[in-house]
Amino acid sequence: MEKIDKIVKILKDAKQPQSDFVKLMDSFDDPFIVLIACILSLRTNDRTTYPATLRMLELGKTPNDFAKCDLAKLTKAIYPVGFYANKAKQIIELSQKLVEDYNSKVPDEIEELVKFNGVGRKTANLVLSEGFHIPAICVDVHVHRIFNRLGYVKTKNPEETEFALREKLPQKYWIDINSLLVTHGQNVCKPINPKCDVCPINEHCSKVGVKNTRQASNK
């Protein structure tokens, strides 16, 4: 069995606790909801994004709902996510564009998705993988950090990591890899002082760039 096969199997079997927001995203089966929830999550921690997403979805669930949504009401609902005022405006404008130019349907191609204001490759890939169940690699800071620590890739930023993984990572793992590594990054493979002593994939990790680790009991 290849190294990456072992790593993915171990992480799946470990069943580390997921944040409420990761579980919520995994439960969505609608590309539009995945899209607007992902917009809320940008540069905001999961603890803040989760309740904000639930409040937002009380206002609507379709492009038509948010195209007509009151800006002040949406802004209040998603506060205090990062850049909440800009994100509220972005969601409304994006919804209006979907209604007017896309017959209220979220496109299923990265090239079309990134045409929307504020939608980058990370968000576009998540919409494809979570919303459409199309193989796509969503690379956030956790995925970028962990794959580089493992020594699986050697890249400078998430976009480079995405394209490197497209060449190397078996496609059967593309959809699941984001939630799997986000959960591992939140619980064990922290940005600073990762908990290598309790890491289930410790023996498979090259620990590239890791200088200090910490005990699992330390916060």
Q: What is the pLDDT along the chain (219 residues), one digit of tens a residue?
A: 489 999 999 999 999 999 999 999 999 999 999 999 999 999 999 999 999 999 999 999 999 999 999 999 999 999 999 999 999 999 999 999 999 999 999 999 999 999 999 999 999 999 999 999 999 999 999 999 999 999 999 999 999 999 999 999 999 999 999 999 999 999 999 999 999 999 999 999 999 999 877 654 444
Given this model, what pLDDT does residue 184 score?
98
CATH number of the domain where residue 34 is located: 1.10.340.30
182 and 143 assigned to the same domain: yes
27 and 120 assigned to the same domain: yes
Query: Which residues are CB-neighbours of 155 under 8 A, at least 6 positions away?
Result: 144, 147, 148, 161, 164
Given this model, what pLDDT does residue 15 score?
93
90 and 49 assigned to the same domain: yes
Given this model, what pLDDT does residue 214 score?
66
Q: Is 57 among the domain residues?
A: yes
Given this model, what pLDDT does residue 90 score?
98
Global pTM value = 0.93
Overall domain count for the chain: 2
Given this model, what pLDDT does residue 212 score?
77
Given this model, what pLDDT does residue 202 score?
96
112 and 188 assigned to the same domain: no
State the residue range of the domain holding 182: 3-17+137-204
Given this model, what pLDDT does residue 218 score?
47
CATH number of the domain where residue 12 is located: 1.10.1670.10
105 and 142 assigned to the same domain: no
29 and 114 assigned to the same domain: yes
> Of 71, 103, 131, at which residue does a domain stop?
131
Q: Is 211 among the domain residues?
A: no
Given this model, what pLDDT does residue 219 score?
46
Q: Is 212 among the domain residues?
A: no
123 and 190 assigned to the same domain: no
